[in-house]
Structures are given as structure tokens and as C-alpha cells.
Amino acid sequence: MTEIKNNKGTRTTQFSRQGKSEKLNAGAKVFRFYLKTFGCQMNVADSDMFAEYLQKCGCLPTENINDAEIIIINTCTVRQHAEDKAFSFIGELKKIKDGKKIVVTGCVAELYGEQLRKMFPQVDLVIGAKNIERFPELIGELVDSYSKIRPVKTGRYKNEQRVTAFVTITRGCDNFCSYCVVPYVRGQEKHRPIKEIIDEIKQLAEQGIKEVTLLGQNVNSYKCDDTDFADLLEEVHKIDGLKRIRFLTNHPKDMNDKIIDMVANLEKVCEHIHLPLQSGSDKILEMMNRKYTRKDYLNLVEKIYKKIQGIALTTDLMVGFPTETEKDFRETLNMVKEVNFDSCFCFKYSVRKKTSVSKLPDDIGLETKKERLQVLLELSKEITLANNGKLLNTIQELLIENTGDSPYNGRTRTNKKVLIEGNPVISSGQIINVKINKISSSLLNGVRS
């Protein structure tokens, strides 16, 4: 979740995915659905939930959009580019409508609401991000003209091919970073009951899932009764069959000693923390309402490096925020060097509706944004390559995620992609040791050790 930022609220609201579930029973008719997802891991997790529900109901997924009776577009609006891509895709569907049911979900759906149906008459149903939990009910109503609805057993649909899974533990955000639209489209921070989370992960482990990634706009602020995020990590760690635990994303102001200690001491928790910085300038951080300073961040990083052996830190960075000077930008570059991030997800600032900073002029020209972004990307790539170079001839633990046509076979505990050479006999879900013999900034190569 590399592009969603988040926060801890003053009060805790819980949400539950348990409850009434509906079944689309189309009789002799077999529905096929096509699912297109834009955006972060939260959207991927939501799309997994859509697909699992539809398959439980007897619908079949298809990769050929022309074969689908139902087309679902799960959208993102965290940046203008993501929104534009969604609009372009939805617009093209007019050419293949031909009685197909078209559903738009996610953050763009929340931001524009029913206005989307006026913009794109081919759209049949809009489900905003705040109503994701109502997907079974609303999709059932959409196709009710030629199907009956009846309850079906709850639970995640079993996918024999996957060995990793996303598990949402919180939704929404209370941070209100000045540039971020998430609190407006996903709503107030809500926390799933711990029992529901544990039950879901146990079921996944029984189905063969070896790694889960706990998701939230700010997982650090998770709270259920007397259980905080560190406690949740400890409970997930006890689940039999589960081999690895990851989590996304973190807010520096809420990353505390207890969480750091859990990452350091729990064997299943991987040595990787995504810790969005956004800017290295105190002036810009204050304007962003990030609630930490450059010094705060560096102190936190020092503590993480000291306590967690072999930790990899990754981050999000933004260029071209309103009033950003060359000095501000240089401070960001200096932070990247000082922290030695394993990798950086870098973006140009774009105005988002409803955000507080949208009231300010977008005064950094596009060409300046592009130039700064390129400089930042080149620096990040250089540091990543140097860090990867330190892994040459080392033995790394690898979880095999696929054995097919993908350009990599699995990931290290520090979340690096690895391609295994020599065509060894391996299967998805295995954990093996590999010796790294070749590196680049995006992929490691290795041989089975």
C-alpha cells in the first residue's frame, strides 16, 4: 500500500464482515465476471473479496472481458493519474456494453457517486468505498431481474493457486493529511474485531495460505478492546500453518517500541517495514499535517535499525507539493541518502478534491515536478542497487509464490523478488534457501542452496 496514508482516531469504531451473505442463483444461467482493479493493496483485498463472493455464488471469473456478463471496476483516486486511468477504462466499456452489467466500486465511486452514471450512462451500479461491505446485497439487487437470492455459508473462497493473501484489519482514516483524499472516500477509521481477523486467517492457513499481509490505512493504530496492533501480531503469530506475516501501511507517528519489538522477536513477522516519509523538509511535513519532524523520523529509523537485524525500510515520497522549494527538495534527497531506504515509491503531487491543501495554488510547474521526480527515482534506484549488491553470494530464505510464467519465483523475507535459475523442482508454498548470484535494482537471481 504504497500510496495510501492513514491515522489513529480519538475513538474506535468496529466493523464486521460477518453477517448476512447472499447467493446469486441464476438457475441454468452461468454468470461470468471480469474484474479490473486500480490502486493500492487495499483495493486488491477488496477485489479478492468480490471475486470470492461471486465464485461462492457459482459465478465464474474470466480474463476475456467480452465473455463477461458482469464487469467490475475497482477504482482509486489517491492521485489524478489513477483516477484518469479508471475514467479511460470505464469510457471504453461503452463499445462492448451489449447488455453487460457494469459496476464501478472503490474510491472514485465514493468521490463521484451517482454522478458517474451521468458521466458514463453504460454504468449500471456505483458502490462507493464506504459501502464495500454491502457488495453482496447490491450486486444481488443488480442481477435480481434474472436470478434469485438466498443465504449462503460465509467464509473465504478457496483458491488453490495462491499462497499469499491480504487481510484487512482496519478501514478508513482519521489522520487528514492535507493532500490525502482517503478520509473523505473511505471514512472514519474502523477496526475489525480481533476474533474475526484471527478466524479468517486460520481459515486461510487451513486452505494452504503461507503468508498474510495485514492491511489498513494505518495498521499501527489498530485497537480492539484491550488489543493493540502489537498484540494482534502476537496472536496471528500463533496460528498453525502460517509461515510469514507482513503488514501495510504504517504511520511514523504511531510506530512504537512495542510494535518494533514484535517485529524483532516474532519469527514469522518479516523484516520489512514500509514507513512513508513523504518529504524530508520540516516545512513541507508541517503543511502536510504529518505530525512528525525530520528529526522524529530519523530517531525512529535509528531505533528500528538498532533493534531489528537485517530490516529493510521502504517509503513513499512526494515531489512538487505546493510551495516546495529547491531547498525543500534537496532535504528530501538528503533524507533518502541518510536513511538508506531499500526502495522508494515516488510520486508527483496532484490536487485532490476536498483536501485542505487543494485550496492552495498548485504552484510547482509540471516540468519541475517531472525533473524532481526523475532525480529522486535515479537516486532511489542507485541506493536499491547498492543494497542489493550486499546480498551477492548470501543465502536468502525464499517463499515460492509461483512456478509458472511470472518473472520471479518468490520473495525474500525483506520483500525482494527472486528468480531461481536452473529450473529446480519447486512448488508454490515451499520455503527454500537460495544463494544470490546476480542482482539488479528490481530483481535478484539465485540458485537453490
Task: Render pLDDT for 54-98 as a digit per residue (tens, 0 to 9).
Answer: 888 888 999 999 999 999 999 999 889 899 999 999 999 999 999
Nearest partner of 86 among 200, 78, 310, 360, judged by Cα:
78
Residues 336/317, Cβ–Cβ less than 8 Å: yes
| pLDDT value, residue 144 | 66
Residue 113 has pLDDT above 70, yes or no: yes
Between CA 317 and CA 355 the distance in angstroms is 18
pTM, whole model, 2 decimals? 0.87
pLDDT band of 140, cuts 50, 70, 90: confident
Pairing of strands 431-439, 395-400: antiparallel
Residue 423 has pLDDT above 90, yes or no: no
Domains plus CATH for the chain? 20-151 (3.40.50.12160), 395-448 (2.40.50)
| pLDDT value, residue 111 | 93
Give percent of the chain above pLDDT 70.
89
Helix (H) or strand (E) run with residue 191 in it? strand 190-191
Lowest mean pLDDT among 156-170, 339-353, 388-402: 156-170
| pLDDT value, residue 151 | 36
Lowest mean pLDDT among 20-34, 130-144, 201-215, 242-256: 20-34
pLDDT band of 2, cuts 50, 70, 90: very low
Which segment, 79-93, 317-331, 421-435, is predicted with the most confidence on average?
317-331
Q: Is 61 helix (H, G, I), strand (E, B) or coil?
A: strand
pLDDT band of 9, cuts 50, 70, 90: very low
Q: In sequence order, which residues have a C-beta less than 8 Å from that of residue 60 and are 6 or more positions away? A: 30, 31, 32, 33
Lowest mean pLDDT among 125-139, 196-210, 321-335: 125-139
Per-residue pLDDT tens digits for 192-211: 999 999 999 999 999 999 99
| pLDDT value, residue 215 | 97
> Comparing 16 with 193, which gets the higher pLDDT?
193
Lowest mean pLDDT among 157-171, 294-308, 391-405: 157-171
Q: In sequence order, which residues have a C-beta less than 8 Å from that of residue 155 and are 6 or more positions away? A: 56, 203
Q: Is 48 helix (H, G, I), strand (E, B) or coil?
A: helix
DSSP 269: B
Residues 257/303, Cβ–Cβ less than 8 Å: yes
Residues 109/129, Cβ–Cβ less than 8 Å: yes
pLDDT band of 14, cuts 50, 70, 90: very low
Over residues 281-307, the mean pLDDT reads 98
| pLDDT value, residue 21 | 38
| pLDDT value, residue 158 | 53
| pLDDT value, residue 425 | 87
Over residues 240-257, the mean pLDDT reads 97
| pLDDT value, residue 412 | 98
Residue 150 has pLDDT above 70, yes or no: no
Over residues 359-388, the mean pLDDT reads 98
Give percent of the chain above pLDDT 90.
79
Average pLDDT, the chain: 89
| pLDDT value, residue 19 | 36
pLDDT band of 160, cuts 50, 70, 90: low
Pairing of strands 101-106, 60-61: unpaired
Per-residue pLDDT tens digits for 208-226: 999 999 999 999 999 999 9
Over residues 411-437, the mean pLDDT reads 94
Residue 295 has pLDDT above 90, yes or no: yes
Residue 155 has pLDDT above 90, yes or no: no
Between CA 421 and CA 379 the distance in angstroms is 29
The greatest distance separating any two alpha carbons of the chain, rounded to the nearest whole angstrom, comes to 66
Over residues 28-33, the mean pLDDT reads 74
Between CA 17 and CA 193 the distance in angstroms is 9
Q: Is 59 helix (H, G, I), strand (E, B) or coil?
A: coil
pLDDT band of 143, cuts 50, 70, 90: confident
| pLDDT value, residue 159 | 56
